């Protein structure tokens, strides 16, 4: 017997547009996230276009990656952009002090990053260095990227192979200023941000959206102080929250082979994102009632103990069905807050934390998270629709419980009505009746289902298709649509 969960969608009451950049990615100079995972260099035997792997870029293109954040993360506050221009053989070798102490030869710099974005058809989010950099260094980088003049810096860009200025979509001033970005107070940061952005000048039509580096987890002080004190040159305040199964940094939990209690805690900890966004929105609504400034969740995802035998600074972790469920739950939460959450960036795109793709030399494998992103593509730029759940069942563990079903609905840019459903219970299937008002009586629901037998089912180089979506269809009977959700599953489809 199934619990009879009901969803009511009001197609006549469109809400805010879900910015496509809610599906943004993050690529940091960390482990093999860039070097090896995406960048192999033009001389490599691994097929590439201008140094970027053909297989990986090809797979990422299917996700319609709207935006990539680069070069960090913590790395950004020690990155000096001049190290990454000019002939690659002449670029300085530095130590990546944040991530494993490995040598960073600066093979990927500004030109290479823009080439990656161009190949993906993605917007760019460049993260400036406030920590060890200066307003001068950032303003010169911005000029290098955006100036169409004959200035020495613009001419240097031309000499390095790029005639026209690039389109710089977003520029952030520092990262995690409360921690690796300089251990600052929000007041100190706000003051530095105002001074710095006063010097970040571009031709008017080339002005990027500026991002202030905000808080994390349950701390709303940063959102409060930044939205209160910064009134100019600000388009977004960033916010970071990672899902850690145990909730503890020392021993975070394994990516696979975990007990059901850690499936539960991972779901529970992921769902905390909703309350955190609400709390940040509340302080921002007070200081910025017109919602001029967005809340950009520019780092999110699962963070586990690294794979055994790997460099602890490389943050390499396997990715299972659980990660796909985490991604889908977060998407549904982000859609709910589309009025303020106009960008998010999963950490990170390849080989790092909750990655889309894992690589080993010339091999690559798509993760369950990749499949979740692909299933949700119709939500990019879609118009959110109110979807309410009645009689939602609970998934319980000991004395704790979370909602069994999560839902989101939107009108896609193709005019179709899309519904995404998640069943968090690893043991119980459920049935959801979907009632749509303000639109034609539903005839059928067609889409895709992602599930597997084991909670930690994952793809490997030997078995790359262990977890992949299958097509899913449900016929309505007498105008009533019922969607069956297997245990631990994600279903995304269109109501027609």
C-alpha–C-alpha distance, residues 210 and 230, integer Å? 11
Q: Quick check: 360 and 40 in contact, CB under 8 A?
A: no
Q: Which of helix, strand or coil describes residue 495?
A: strand
Q: How far is CA 439 from CA 100, 274, 385, in A?
A: 54, 28, 12
User: Measured from the CB of residue 215, what is the shortest distance to ligand AHR in angstroms?
Assistant: 12
Q: Which is nearer to ligand AHR, 60 or 485 (CB)?
A: 60
- Which residue, 130 or 347, is less far from ligand AHR as judged by CB? 347
Stretch that binds ligand AHR, among 34-42, 202-210, 332-340, 347-355 (CB under 6 A): 347-355
To the nearest whole angstrom, how small is the minimum distance from the Cβ of residue 242 to ligand AHR? 7
- Does 476 contact ligand AHR by CB under 6 A? no
Separation CA 316–CA 32 (nearest Å): 8
* HSE of 220, CA atoms in CB hemisphere, 13 A: 16
Give the shortest CB-348-to-ligand AHR separation in angstroms.
6
Sites for ligand AHR among residues 23-52 (CB under 6 A): 28
Q: Which stretch binds ligand AHR (CB under 6 A): 67-75, 141-149, 262-270, 457-465?
A: 67-75
Nearest distance from residue 148's CB to ligand AHR, in Å?
A: 32
Q: Which helix (H) or strand (E) holds 490?
A: strand 489-495
Rounded Cα distance, 273 and 275, in Å:
6
- The values of phi and psi at residue 99, to 5°, are -125, 80
Per CB under 6 A, contacts with ligand AHR among 290-309 are 299
Nearer to ligand AHR, 140 or 299 (CB): 299
Catalytic residue among 112, 176, 262, 336: 176
> Measured from the CB atom, is 173 or 382 closer to ligand AHR?
173
DSSP 31-66: TTTTBTTTB--TT-SS-EETTEEHHHHHHHHTTT--
Q: Is 77 in the site for ligand AHR (CB under 6 A)?
A: no
Check residue 176 for interaction with ligand AHR (CB under 6 A): yes
E strands along 50-198, which residues? 52-53, 67-70, 94-96, 102-104, 123-128, 170-173
Interface with ligand AHR, residue 215, by CB under 6 A:
no
CB of 320: closest distance to ligand AHR in angstroms? 19
Binding mask 385-414 for ligand AHR (x = CB under 6 A): ------------------------------
Instruction: Tell me the CB-side half-sphere exposure of residue 248, using CA atoms within 13 A.
Output: 5
State which of residues 15, 37, 71, 72 lies at the interface with ligand AHR (CB under 6 A).
72
Of the residues 18, 74, 271, 329, which one makes contact with ligand AHR according to CB under 6 A: 74
- Of the residues 28, 78, 299, 336, only one is catalytic, namely 299
Residue nearest to ligand AHR (CB): 73
- DSSP E strands, 191-348: 209-212, 236-243, 294-302, 343-347
**Which of residues 32, 127, 175, 384 is near ligand AHR by CB under 6 A?**
175
Minimum distance, C-beta of residue 299 to ligand AHR, in the bound complex (Å): 5
Torsions phi, psi for 417 (to 5 deg): -95, 115
Distance CA 229, CA 277 (A): 20
What number of chain residues touch ligand AHR (CB under 6 A)?
10
Q: Is 347 one of the binding residues for ligand AHR (CB under 6 A)?
A: yes
Measured between alpha carbons, how far is 65 from 377 in angstroms, rounded to an integer? Answer: 9
Minimal distance in Å, beta carbon 46 to ligand AHR? 25
**Which residues are bridge partners to 434 per DSSP?**
7, 481
Active site residue 299: yes
Q: Name which position in 71, 73, 109, 469 contacts ligand AHR (CB under 6 A).
A: 73
117 binds ligand AHR (CB under 6 A): no
How many C-beta atoms surround the C-beta of residue 114 within 10 A? 18
Does position 317 interact with ligand AHR (CB under 6 A)? The reply is: no
Burial state string for 8-33 with b = 16 or more CB within 10 A and e = fewer than 16: bbbbeeebebbbbbbbbbbbbbbbbb
Region of 49-57, 66-74, 277-285, 396-404 interacting with ligand AHR (CB under 6 A): 66-74
Provide φ and ψ at 390, rounded to 5°.
Answer: -115, 150
Cα dihedral value 309, 313, 316, 322, nearest 10: 110
Give min distance, CB of 73 to ligand AHR, in A: 3
Site residues, ligand AHR (CB under 6 A): 28, 72-74, 175-176, 299, 347-348, 353
Which residues are catalytically annotated?
A: 176, 299
């Amino acid at each position: 017997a199934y619990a009879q969960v009901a969803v009511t969608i009001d197609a006549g009451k469109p809400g805010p547009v879900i910015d496509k950049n809610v599906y943004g990615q993050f690529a940091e100079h960390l482990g093999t996230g860039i070097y090896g995972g995406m960048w192999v260099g033009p001389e490599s035997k691994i097929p590439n276009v201008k140094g970027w792997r053909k297989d990986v870029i090809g797979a990422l293109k299917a996700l319609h990656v709207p935006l990539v954040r680069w070069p960090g993360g913590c790395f950004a506050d020690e990155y000096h952009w001049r190290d990454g221009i000019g002939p690659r053989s002449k670029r300085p070798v530095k130590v990546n002090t944040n991530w494993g102490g490995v040598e960073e030869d600066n093979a990927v710099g500004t030109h290479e990053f823009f080439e990656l974005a161009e190949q993906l058809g993605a917007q760019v989010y460049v993260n400036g260095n406030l920590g060890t950099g200066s307003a001068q260094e950032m303003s010169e980088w911005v000029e290098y990227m955006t100036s169409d003049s004959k200035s020495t810096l613009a001419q240097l860009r031309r000499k390095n192979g790029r005639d026209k200025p690039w389109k710089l979509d977003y520029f952030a001033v520092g990262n995690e200023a409360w921690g690796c970005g300089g251990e600052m107070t929000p007041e100190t940061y706000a003051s530095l941000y105002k001074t710095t952005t006063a010097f970040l000048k571009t031709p008017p039509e080339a002005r990027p959206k500026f991002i202030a580096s905000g808080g994390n987890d349950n701390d709303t002080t940063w959102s409060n102080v930044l939205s209160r004190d910064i009134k100019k040159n600000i388009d977004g305040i960033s916010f970071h929250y990672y899902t850690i199964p145990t909730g503890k940094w020392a021993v975070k939990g394994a990516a696979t082979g975990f007990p059901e209690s850690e499936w539960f805690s991972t779901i529970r900890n992921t769902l905390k994102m909703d309350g955190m966004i609400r709390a940040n929105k509340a302080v921002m609504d007070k200081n910025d009632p017109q919602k001029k400034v967005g809340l950009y969740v520019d780092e999110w995802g699962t963070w586990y103990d690294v794979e055994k035998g790997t460099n602890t600074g490389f943050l390499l972790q396997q990715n299972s069905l659980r990660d796909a469920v985490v991604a889908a739950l977060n998407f549904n939460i982000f859609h709910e807050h589309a009025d303020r959450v106009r960008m998010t960036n999963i950490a990170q795109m390849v080989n790092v934390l909750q990655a889309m793709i894992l690589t080993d030399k010339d091999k690559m494998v798509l993760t369950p998270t990749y499949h979740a992103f692909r299933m949700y593509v119709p939500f990019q730029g879609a118009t959110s629709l109110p979807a309410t759940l009645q009689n939602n069942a609970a998934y319980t563990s000991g004395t704790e419980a979370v909602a069994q079903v999560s839902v989101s609905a939107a009108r896609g840019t193709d005019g179709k009505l899309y519904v995404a459903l998640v069943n968090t219970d690893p043991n119980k299937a459920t049935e959801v009746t979907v009632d749509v008002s303000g639109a034609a009586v539903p005839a059928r629901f067609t889409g895709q289902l992602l599930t597997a037998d084991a909670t930690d089912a994952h793809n490997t180089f030997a078995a790359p298709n262990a977890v992949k979506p299958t097509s899913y269809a449900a016929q309505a009977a007498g105008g009533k649509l019922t969607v069956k959700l297997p245990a631990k599953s994600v279903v995304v489809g269109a109501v027609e």
